[in-house]
Chain A
Amino acid sequence: MAIKWTILGLAIYATMGLYLVAAVLFLARVRRVGYAVYGVGCAMAVAAWVYRWLETGHVPLQNLFEVFLTLGMLVLPVTLFCRRFLGVGGEAADAVIGIVILFAAGFVFNAEPKMLVPALQSSLFVPHVAAYMLAYAIMAKAAVPAFWGLVGFGPPREDGLVDWESATYRMVSLGFPLLTLGLVLGAVWGKIAWGDYWNWDPKELASLASWLVFLAYLHVRYMYGKRFPRLNCALVVLGAVAIVLTLLWVNLARIFGGGLHSYA
């Protein structure tokens, strides 16, 4: 955890600031200005990303810092995609998700090329993490309409957008393949690095549990469709909670006693 007093670090903090302003503007229903600020923030993130590329000479997807920097740049395209093609809104939540992602890049992960322990030196490392982080961001976005659907009230629906339950389903449909990919890539990598595709490691089991919650959701929705929208929404909120627990597991695992992922 350290502040980065570099051009790159300052660009990340500026982006976070712009995303924050955008989120506040979206909440205040000043949408046009909000989108303008969100766009400037995204442009700043793109600039930081290109700067990183020029600085290192490789596509910035080689380590966790670069993965999070890339994701921080992708929140606006995801917002626009969801609104245009899926009829799902939630710009304020997206901007906040962008801040959380960039927080990791700006404060948690080291921008210096890291000396990886032998087991982490695999070409599957970045795809595994990238698939998971993108899936987690999308599931976080799914949890917002799911939460409104569960509690039964929330911001009024805008024109052209679908209801909370449908929005939740569409976001889960977008995120679930990535969640599956992340899980499977982790297993394949585990086989190559440790000899087994499944090691019963706490983080593996925690991520399996969150995958299973979404799997249960998909089966419930197949069985009953929209007949019990609150049940559907509750399962997705539960899935998001499971994801948060999985992410925090790295720290919790120290209390419960280690595992393969305790280096992460």
Chain B
Amino acid sequence: MRTLRRIILWVVLAAIALLAVLSIVGALRGADRAKDLFNSAPLVVYWFVLAALLAAGFVFFKRLIRSPAALGIHLGSLLVLTGAMWGSETGHDVRRALFDSKKVPGGYMVIYEGRRENRILEHKTMAPIVELPFDVHLNDFWIEYYPSKQKTWSLLVAAPVRDGAGHVLEERQVDVPWTVGQPADVPLTQARLTVLQYLEHAAPTFDEGAVPVIEISLADGKKVTLPARAGAETDLADPKMKVRVIQVFENMRLRGAGEEREIVDLPDEGTNPAVLVRLVEPDGTTHKRYLMALVPMHGYRDPGPPMAYVFPEPTGARADPSSPVPAMEVLVACDGRELRHWFLPAEDDPYVSVDLAPLLSGKDEPAHGDARTELCLVKPVGPIRDYFSELSILENGKQVAAKVIEVNDPLHWGGYHFYQADYDKQAGRYTVLSVTSDSGLLAVWLGFTLLVAATFWRFWGEVVIGYVTQRPSLAEVDVA
């Protein structure tokens, strides 16, 4: 028995040494080839031998049973090993071949925003390898950035790249380096650009006398305006009626429900500029109408003309230390034509742009879609902090699970984990999920826990107890 134990221990030592050597070989070969090596047939034999050695330990070494710590360490190792073998590529292959299992060890999924997908693609070839019995739907995808160290917004030009026939092949974006007052070429175009002013903290300014107005479109196509101020009124000729401003709201809100419903102004709780106007027909019939500046409305029940509550367009900017956004005035010139433009981003705008097509072509009409050449003022962003995908799982078209996943936080469903792996870096329209099977995972987690806990117990806990009880601990006893 003693000899047998010695032989087993020598085989154990040989197995440990072999694994150490192979690990170093694998480390030198790189992850992909190491994975192939450790999944190869001879190594499959090795893993079974290692598992058998651990199992033999419980039979031939009484101490492995009697000492809870030693038992935990070896049982934990055996659990990790068997769980890993069960969850390995080879493990999945064997179960697919022998037991009609459909499960694959993993792969990628590519899902476009707003679409659903159930195919898992192979890691390297990206060929579909299996269809899941459920769909994964990508509701939304977004990226979060660290704040940038750069404070100044940058200029870039986005222009279509065309082939010989004039078809748009792709859109290109090029940075436009700028210094205030120094003319520079605009890349991808024939235009030249001068930054006239750059205000780091700016608020928009308006023409003198420019005030919010109510714009009334008459039947003959003409427009009349009425200052948006309570009490202002005007007489219209066609249709013949009187319009009077009753109330001006900074933030119009609906409060209460049913009969109790009332319209109130809550200036501190947001922004929804609106006015209440009264229309009086010649026969004395009156109508009330609410006009919201942010939500122009077209349907109305009264016989009055179309109206809109219009704020004046800003015509410039001034320095305002309390403002979080900058402003930039540029002059762009091309073939003797000039465009003067103020970039006035709002607080949450990632960028603001101006269409250069009318200036470049000399035609006074905006270009559409991918034919546009735009000059953009872009907010600086730091490195990517994280990316997020809002996923839902659909079974027979019905949603059964949903989760916003990020890099360290996957979704678990149907025996697979779905990880945020990559995304469409060109347009941000699709996300790449890494899908991994959860087979054997429970055994591995349990094994890890046992292994760590028992190792601490064996080498720290038993020594502390030995010290406290004044008895030599197992760690201090030389067994052989």
Which one of B38, B385, B408, B448 contacts A187 once the chains associate, using CB atoms below 8 Å? B448
Q: Which of B165-173, B210-218, B454-462 is the contact stretch? A: B454-462
Complex CA–CA separation, A226 to B441 (angstroms): 40
Q: Mark B462-477, 1 if CB is under 8 A from A, else 0.
A: 0100010000000100
Which B residues are CB-close (under 8 A) to A121?
385-386, 407-408
Q: How many residues of B contact A (CB 8 A)?
A: 58
Q: Which of B28-36, B95-103, B191-199, B353-361 is the contact stretch? A: B28-36
Asked if B452 is at the interface of the complex by the 8 Å CB criterion, the answer is yes
Q: Which of A34-42, A65-73, A144-152, A192-200 is the contact stretch? A: A192-200
Kindly identify, within residues 129 to 143 of chain A, every residue whose CB is under 8 Å from any CB belonging to chain B: none
CB distance from B63 to the nearest CB of A (A): 9
- Interface on chain A toward B: helix, strand, loop, or mixed SS? helix
Q: Does B31 lie within 8 Å of A219, measured CB to CB?
A: no
Q: Does B406 lie within 8 Å of A118, measured CB to CB?
A: yes
Asked if B1 is at the interface of the complex by the 8 Å CB criterion, the answer is no
Asked if B383 is at the interface of the complex by the 8 Å CB criterion, the answer is yes
Complex CA–CA separation, A256 to B13 (angstroms): 29
Q: Does A122 lie within 8 Å of B16, measured CB to CB?
A: no
Asked if B84 is at the interface of the complex by the 8 Å CB criterion, the answer is yes
Q: Does B385 lie within 8 Å of A219, measured CB to CB?
A: no
Q: A115-B383, A119-B407 are in contact. Are A174 and B27 (CB under 8 A)?
A: no
Which B residues are CB-close (under 8 A) to A195?
106, 410, 417, 419, 421, 434-436
Q: Which of A1-9, A18-26, A94-102, A175-183 is the contact stretch? A: A175-183
Q: Mark A205-233, 1 if CB is under 8 A from B, else 0.
A: 11011001101100111111111000000
> From A182, which residue of chain B is reached at the shortest CB distance?
B452
Q: Does A225 lie within 8 Å of B480, measured CB to CB?
A: yes
Which A residues are CB-close (under 8 A) to B451?
180, 184
Q: Does B13 lie within 8 Å of A220, measured CB to CB?
A: yes
Q: Does A115 lie within 8 Å of B382, measured CB to CB?
A: yes
Asked if B262 is at the interface of the complex by the 8 Å CB criterion, the answer is no
Asked if A161 is at the interface of the complex by the 8 Å CB criterion, the answer is no
Asked if B9 is at the interface of the complex by the 8 Å CB criterion, the answer is yes
Which B residues are CB-close (under 8 A) to A153?
none
Asked if B20 is at the interface of the complex by the 8 Å CB criterion, the answer is yes
Q: A193-B408, A197-B444, A219-B9 are in contact. Are A212 and B20 (CB under 8 A)?
A: yes
Q: Does B146 lie within 8 Å of A115, measured CB to CB?
A: yes
> From B463, which residue of chain A is reached at the shortest CB distance?
A173
Which A residues are CB-close (under 8 A) to B441?
191
Asked if A163 is at the interface of the complex by the 8 Å CB criterion, the answer is no
> From A124, which residue of chain B is reached at the shortest CB distance?
B408
Asked if A202 is at the interface of the complex by the 8 Å CB criterion, the answer is yes
Which B residues are CB-close (under 8 A) to A192?
408-410
Complex CA–CA separation, A119 to B385 (angstroms): 9
Q: Does B6 lie within 8 Å of A223, measured CB to CB?
A: yes
Which one of B407, B435, B458 contacts A118 once the chains associate, using CB atoms below 8 Å? B407
Q: Does A200 lie within 8 Å of B383, measured CB to CB?
A: no
Q: Max chain B CB contacts within 10 Å: which of A194, A209, A257?
A: A209
Which A residues are CB-close (under 8 A) to B34?
200, 202, 205
Which B residues are CB-close (under 8 A) to A220?
13
CB distance from A65 to the nearest CB of B (A): 18
Asked if B257 is at the interface of the complex by the 8 Å CB criterion, the answer is no
Asked if B263 is at the interface of the complex by the 8 Å CB criterion, the answer is no
Complex CA–CA separation, A118 to B144 (angstroms): 10
CB distance from B428 to the nearest CB of A (A): 15
Q: A119-B408, A184-B448, A187-B448 are in contact. Are A258 and B27 (CB under 8 A)?
A: no
Complex CA–CA separation, A187 to B469 (angstroms): 36
Complex CA–CA separation, A227 to B84 (angstroms): 37
Q: Does B459 lie within 8 Å of A118, measured CB to CB?
A: no
Which one of B38, B478, B479 contacts A200 once the chains associate, using CB atoms below 8 Å? B38
Asked if B46 is at the interface of the complex by the 8 Å CB criterion, the answer is no
Asked if B384 is at the interface of the complex by the 8 Å CB criterion, the answer is yes
Which A residues are CB-close (under 8 A) to B444?
197
Kindly identify, within residues 1 to 59 of chain B, every residue whose CB is under 8 Å from any CB belonging to chain A: 6, 9, 12-13, 16-17, 19-21, 23-24, 26-28, 30-32, 34-35, 38
CB distance from B162 to the nearest CB of A (A): 37
Asked if A54 is at the interface of the complex by the 8 Å CB criterion, the answer is no
Q: Does A188 lie within 8 Å of B35, measured CB to CB?
A: no
Asked if B387 is at the interface of the complex by the 8 Å CB criterion, the answer is yes
- Name B's A-contacting residues (CB within 8 A): 6, 9, 12-13, 16-17, 19-21, 23-24, 26-28, 30-32, 34-35, 38, 84, 106, 146, 382-387, 406-410, 417, 419-421, 434-436, 441, 444-445, 448, 451-452, 455-456, 458-460, 463, 467, 475, 478-480
A–B pairs, 7, beta carbons within 8 Å: A118-B385, A121-B408, A122-B408, A195-B106, A203-B27, A209-B20, A256-B27
Given A180-B451, A200-B34, A212-B20, output 15 extra A-B contacts at Cβ < 8 Å. Answer: A121-B407, A173-B475, A174-B460, A184-B452, A192-B410, A196-B106, A200-B38, A203-B27, A205-B24, A205-B26, A206-B23, A215-B16, A225-B478, A226-B478, A260-B31
- Name A's B-contacting residues (CB within 8 A): 85, 115, 117-119, 121-122, 173-174, 176-177, 180-181, 184, 187-188, 191-203, 205-206, 208-209, 212-213, 215-216, 219-227, 249, 256-260
4 closest cross-chain pairs (CB), A and B: A225-B478, A118-B407, A205-B27, A212-B20
